[in-house]
Amino acid sequence: MKIAITSTGQDLTSQIDPRFGRSPYFIFVDPETMQFEAIENPNVNAMGGAGIQTAQLIANKGVEVVLTGSCGPNAFQTLQAAGVKVIVGVVGTVNEAIEKYKSGGLKPTAGPNVGSHFGMGSTGAPPGTNPGVGMGMGRGMGRGMGMGYGIGPMPQYSQPPGSPQPTKEQELQMLRQQVDSLKQQLDMINNRIKELENKK
């Protein structure tokens, strides 16, 4: 079995990157042996279609499960079509995520948890409607983790043309997962604030 994890670095102690399509690295792990391979994501700076291209890259590697912070509708659909399970809302280090997955603490999601173009700082809302108050949370400790989420309207779960719209239950699940993910990120930020305050 092979798991792919979005990562800010190239080893198991790296933090999970919250973006799927524009994650700087992917770490492919065999959870049984813990042998791993890190690859650089060639789609980080793609003008568009990063999610789909990255999903195809992952599918071609024979991955069965993806662990990430967030996944948009196009990438999610591509992964699902390739039979790859997606788990979103994952935070912490790569190692912690693998252990949590192995213990049954992480379950596949039913749909995307962010709108299209999430990794580009857009929520997928119509142009001009996102004030994008960037929270450039540089909690990276030198590991390049400034997340710069635009706080605008709630993401619109737009599906590619011709694909089925999520049901009310699926959208509720997506929104709840996003709330959980944001709570976890807020906890991490508050912990980092406390760490920095204690270093005075």
pLDDT one-digit tens code per residue, 130-188: 333 344 444 444 444 444 444 333 444 444 444 445 567 766 766 676 676 567 667 77
What pLDDT was estimated at residue 128? 36
Instruction: Give the chain's mean pLDDT.
Output: 75
Q: Using pLDDT thresholds of 50, 70 and 90, give the confidence band for residue 83.
A: very high
CA torsion sign for 57, 59, 61, 64 is positive
Tens digit of each residue's pLDDT (9 = 90 or more) over 14-34 = 999 998 988 999 999 999 999
Task: Set out the domains of the chain in order of their start, with CATH numbers.
Answer: 3-198 (3.30.420.130)
Alpha-carbon distance 188 to 97, whole Å?
15
At a CB cut-off of 8 Å and minimum separation 6, what does 132 contact?
121, 122, 150, 151, 152
pLDDT the model gives residue 136: 44
Q: What is the pLDDT of residue 46?
A: 77
- Predicted local distance difference test score (pLDDT) of residue 63: 93
pLDDT band at 126 (very low <50, low <70, confident <90, very high): very low
Q: Cα–Cα distance between 9 and 89 in angstroms, integer?
A: 18
**8 in Cβ contact with 14 (< 8 Å):** yes
H or E element at residue 183: helix 168-198
Decide: pTM greater than 0.75. Answer: no
Distance CA 29, CA 26 (A): 10
Treating both helix axes as pointing N-terminal to C-terminal, what angle do 73-81 and 50-60 enclose, rounded to 10 degrees?
20
> 60-77, pLDDT tens digit by residue?
999 999 999 989 888 999
Can you give the pLDDT at residue 193?
A: 86
